[in-house]
Structure 1
Amino acid sequence: MKRLISICVSLLILALIYWRIDFQGLIAVFRNSNLPWMMISLGMVIPITMITAWRLQQLMPSTLSEAMVGAKVEPMGVNLPSEPRSESLTFLEANKLILAASSLNMVLPSKMGDIAKAYFMQERGHLTGAMALSLVVFEKTCDMLSLLLWCVFGLLLYPQGDWLFGVMTFSVGLGLVLGIAILSVPRFARSFFKVLQTIAPKKLKAKLGKMSYAWQDMHDYFWQDKWNLTKIALTSIFIWFLHLLQIWFFILALNAYAPFLTNLALSPLAILAGLLPLTFAGVGTRDAALILFYQPYFDAATGAALGLLCTSRYFLPAIGGLPFLEQYLSFAKQAKQKQG
């Protein structure tokens, strides 16, 4: 029901957008687009996915502590044994996991496809239970912090320094500081998980408790290897640089222009708007934010076209992950049958 409501909200926002703009102008924007730049910008999905898969490989611990082994998680409602298992994650397998999670993210609420990725990693023997879940949450936290970092960088250099952008700069900066504290200060992270357990529904309290312990193990693992931690951090920042560069290439493909540093400020804000749990895959809210933020640089029809291209950043990997999704879902079905 929630998914149906989010789809309806997305369709309503899109209907309002296309009602207020010149729809024929939107068609004309695509008709007059720069084909080479369009191919380059859409094709960037491939290297971004591959680098993200390589980072997932680097995130995998080489050894598992007893706390990691003993914890387990059932993100898809399947109870699995918690015996120690650890098999290396190949580059091909990492790509399959990333793409399959992208497919699930299009149909499951709140990026639950990434949570399902943790389950698949557990089932395939790469990690056990809560360790797999905490690794995925760690990965997504690195992504969010990298996005916030680029957003703060762009906003500090953004020429239109009115009160609205001042509030957004403060809010994004605060989120960045809190996120870094969760990753780097164990005591703060424990307090954070305790607060979550206090306000979370009863069914999630136990899982948050397990995840808190696994998070501590993950923290100890990464901080004992400063080089690997630095490599993960720099890779995450570079991945999001590529994401934002891709959006700038979309603008060039539409024969429009906005300064690249301005794009570093505005495109992350639009992406953050799309993360609000109101619409289907951010469709609608992200489009409206793009039209609003980029209105000093191009018209609403071009902004709407940019919104469609930004949506393709999520749909293309989702389509590419469909063949692998069936494979992983069959593993889940077999595991459930064994438990039954």
Structure 2
Amino acid sequence: MKRLLSIFVSVVILAIIYSRIDLPALAEVFRGSDPLWMAISLGMVVPLTLATGWRLRQLMPRHQDFPLTEATKLTLSASVLNMVLPSKMGELAKAYFISDRGYLPGSLAFSLVVFEKASDLLSLFVWCVFGLLFYPEKETLFWVMTFFVFLGLFFGLLLLSSESFANLFFRRSKAIASGKLYQKLDKLHRSWTEMHNHFWQDKRQLLIIASISIFIWFLHLMQIWFFIFALRASVPFIANLALAPLAIFAGLLPLTFAGVGTRDAALIFFYQPFFDANVGAALGLLCTSRYLLPAIGGLPFFGQYLANLQTAKSNAK
């Protein structure tokens, strides 16, 4: 039911957007695009996927043999689920497959993916804070967003770095939760504690992972900047560092199908000082391709993992 509701919300938002868009003008934006920059920007999906897979490999314990090919296939498989699950929750499926293939115990695999997702989110916050601090034209809205983004970064860093603060947060959250929400928070609390115990043992490795995550998100934001070049528009680099993360955050809200609709509306709204709504809508479609292309590439591997899982279950009976 929730999935149908998110699809409905996406359709409604897109209907509102495209009722105000000149469709022939939108088609003209794509016809007049720069083919070289279009190829470069779309092609960045490949190094981004490899970099994300390499980070997953670096997250593994040093004694664990975990090939880059396996990490890349898992990354692509998660992209399939990210297209249908809210807030990139498909990433958590990697924990199940990592455990199922015998690389790590289930709880440690889950804590590894939780850490990966947390470092991903905080890295996006870092670039958003950096961009907003240097964004030249701050009206009241942007000052408010800067404050809340900085608050989110500070809170996330506290959760990640302080086990006592994390325990306090989870205890207070579970005190007011009930039913399935309590169970989810309890599982996340236990995984978060295991994550702290595992990753803070090697601070050098922790610094490496943080650096990789920040660099990966730099590449993501560069890809969006290159999309703008491909559409023959222009946005200052610092402005893109501030605005692109805000649009991505809008797409992460668990309201729509794979962020479609909210992300498009955010791109049109935030980039309106630099180009019109037709270019903004075109940019929204290209940003959706950032999620669609890896999902298409991951379909064969996802099907393979599911088939192996079903075979293992059949043999266990």
For the aligned pair, the TM-score class normalised by the smaller chain equals over 0.9
Q: 1:7, 1:233 → 2: CA distance?
A: 34
Q: 1:199, 1:93 → 2: CA distance?
A: 40
8 A Cα contact 2:87 2:253, kept in partner: no
Q: Look up the equivalent residue of 2:57 and give its one-letter code.
A: Q
**What is the correspondence of 1:203-214 to structure 2 with a 5 Å cutoff?**
203=180, 205-206=182-183, 208-214=185-191
Shift of the 11–209 alpha-carbon distance from structure 1 to 2, 3 Å rule, reads closer
In structure 1, the residue matched to 2:21 is 21
**What is the correspondence of 1:103-114 to structure 2 with a 5 Å cutoff?**
103-114=80-91
Q: Structure 1 residue aligned with 2:121, among 144, 157, 171?
A: 144
In structure 1, the residue matched to 2:212 is 235
Q: Structure 1 residue aligned with 2:67, among 69, 90, 107?
A: 90
Matched, 1:175 2:152: yes
8 A Cα contact 1:186 1:216, kept in partner: yes
Shift of the 4–294 alpha-carbon distance from structure 1 to 2, 3 Å rule, reads same
Matched, 1:250 2:227: yes
Q: Look up the equivalent residue of 1:261 and give its one-letter code.
A: I
**What is the correspondence of 1:295-310 to structure 2 with a 5 Å cutoff?**
295-310=272-287
Shift of the 291–206 alpha-carbon distance from structure 1 to 2, 3 Å rule, reads closer
TM-score by length of 1: 0.89
Q: 2:172, 2:66 → 1: CA distance?
A: 34
In structure 2, the residue matched to 1:35 is 35
RMSD (Å), alpha carbons:
1.6
8 A Cα contact 1:103 1:321, kept in partner: yes
Q: Deviations over 1:233-284 (max 9, x none)?
A: 0000000000000000000000000001000000000000111111111111
Matched, 1:318 2:285: no
Matched, 1:294 2:276: no
Unaligned runs of 5+ in 2: none
Q: Look up the equivalent residue of 1:94 and give its one-letter code.
A: A
Q: 2:72, 2:137 → 1: CA distance?
A: 40
Deviation (angstroms), 1:335: 4.3
Q: 1:210, 1:3 → 2: CA distance?
A: 23
Deviation (angstroms), 1:133: 1.1
Q: 1:304, 1:205 → 2: CA distance?
A: 40
Instruction: Identify which range, 239-248 or 108-117, moves more after superposition.
Output: 108-117
Secondary structure class of the residue paired with 1:92 = helix
In structure 2, the residue matched to 1:82 is none
Secondary structure class of the residue paired with 1:88 = coil
8 A Cα contact 1:291 1:304, kept in partner: yes
Q: 2:183, 2:261 → 1: CA distance?
A: 35
In structure 2, the residue matched to 1:83 is none
Q: Look up the equivalent residue of 1:2 and give its one-letter code.
A: K
Q: Look up the equivalent residue of 1:7 and give its one-letter code.
A: I
Shift of the 127–31 alpha-carbon distance from structure 1 to 2, 3 Å rule, reads same
Deviation (angstroms), 1:206: 4.6
TM-score by length of 2: 0.95
In structure 2, the residue matched to 1:6 is 6
Deviation (angstroms), 1:217: 3.1
In structure 2, the residue matched to 1:276 is 253
In structure 1, the residue matched to 2:52 is 52
Q: Look up the equivalent residue of 1:90 and give its one-letter code.
A: P
Q: Structure 1 residue aligned with 2:165, among 188, 193, 207?
A: 188
In structure 2, the residue matched to 1:79 is none
Q: Look up the equivalent residue of 1:165 and give its one-letter code.
A: F
8 A Cα contact 1:197 1:205, kept in partner: yes
The alignment covers a number of residue pairs equal to: 317
Instruction: Identify which range, 45-54 or 200-209, moves more after superposition.
Output: 200-209
Matched, 1:123 2:112: no
In structure 2, the residue matched to 1:61 is 61
In structure 1, the residue matched to 2:195 is 218
Matched, 1:327 2:304: yes
Instruction: Identify which range, 323-332 or 254-263, moves more after superposition.
Output: 323-332
* Fraction of identical pairs, as percent: 63
Shift of the 304–206 alpha-carbon distance from structure 1 to 2, 3 Å rule, reads closer
8 A Cα contact 1:123 1:331, kept in partner: no
Q: Structure 2 residue aligned with 1:264, among 241, 250, 254?
A: 241
Q: Deviations over 1:178-214 (max 9, x none)?
A: 1101111010111222233334442454554354344
In structure 1, the residue matched to 2:139 is 162
8 A Cα contact 2:26 2:281, kept in partner: yes
